[in-house]
Amino acid sequence: MTSTTFRIGGDLGVRRLGFGAMHLPTEPGPARANSLAVARRAVELGVTLIDTAHMYGGGANEELLAEALHPYPEEMLVTTKVGIARSSPEEEWRLDGRPAVLRDQVEQALRRLRVERIELLQLHRIDPGTPLADQLGTLRELRDEGKIGRIGLSEVTVDELDRARRIVDIASVQNRYNLLDREHEPVLTACEAAGIAFLPWRPVAWGKSGAEADIAAVAKSLDATPTQVALAWLLGHSPAVLPIPGTARIAHLEENLAADALRLAPEHRDLLDRLAVPGAPPVS
């Protein structure tokens, strides 16, 4: 039976099916009130892993989660990301892994999330303009100071992951990955072998119409939705996968979180496994 939990860094237990907060509106008014309700409903439904980032509103998303959930349940992990910055709201976001910027964004996240330590802090992107040793060295220093518990990466190759692991322990990787987009399968394989959590962003995305039809057919046979099928496939594909689907609607949230109770039959999984494999023969 597929495990519904994973220990990030070998010790931090979370429910594998989490929640991505990126899509939650943060501006004042009814939209913000709805966002607060969605975040609280996620916790009510048993979510223990919520993903945010400095880039999501320049910290506004972090503040929203703190307003909704602080004081956090003991088992709750709110992970955030740093390393993308802009000088003003009018400027474009850019990669910025300079030590002073990373340290400042971590300090801001601690304040906005109302915590003394971020249990999982991820580097949003590797900045090619700053030595990797300087970027990860800064995060290691923050970890040694007790402000970070574990360090993760996002959008990295196998080679970049290997290089990073020679500098500091890596607890998680957050790459784009879903049923129809498996470009980073080698990274997932490396994570699974090393016991590193793999958090696919954009965990549900549809491709060609033929693939959509196959997914819809599986969903119909299981009295489920295509989204639930895609998430169930992820959970069964590797024990290291921790999907973080995002939504701003409670109904969609509830649909997503029901996916970890969905069981795909072997013939369903065989069909789905072939969807993103060029030239794969049809299932007989």
Give the active site residues: 56
Q: Does the CA dihedral 86-178-236-244 come out positive or negative?
A: positive
Q: Are the CB atoms for 143 and 2 separated by under 8 Å? A: no
Pairing of strands 172-174, 197-198: parallel
Match 């996620």 to its residue by tokens.
42
Q: How many CB atoms lie within 10 A of CB 278?
A: 5
User: What 8-state DSSP symbol labels residue 258?
Assistant: G
Evaluate whether 54 touches 81 at the Cβ level (below 8 Å): yes
> Cα 187 from chain centroid?
15
Residue that the structure tokens 């992990």 belong to: 77
CA distance 117 to 111: 10
- Asked whether 78 and 65 are in contact (CB, 8 A), the reply is yes
Give which of 42, 112, 124 is closest to 83, Cα–Cα: 124
Residue 212's identity, in one-letter code, is E
Amino acid present at 122: Q
Residue 143 has a CB neighbour count (10 Å cut-off) of 18
Cβ(264)–Cβ(229) under 8 Å?
A: yes
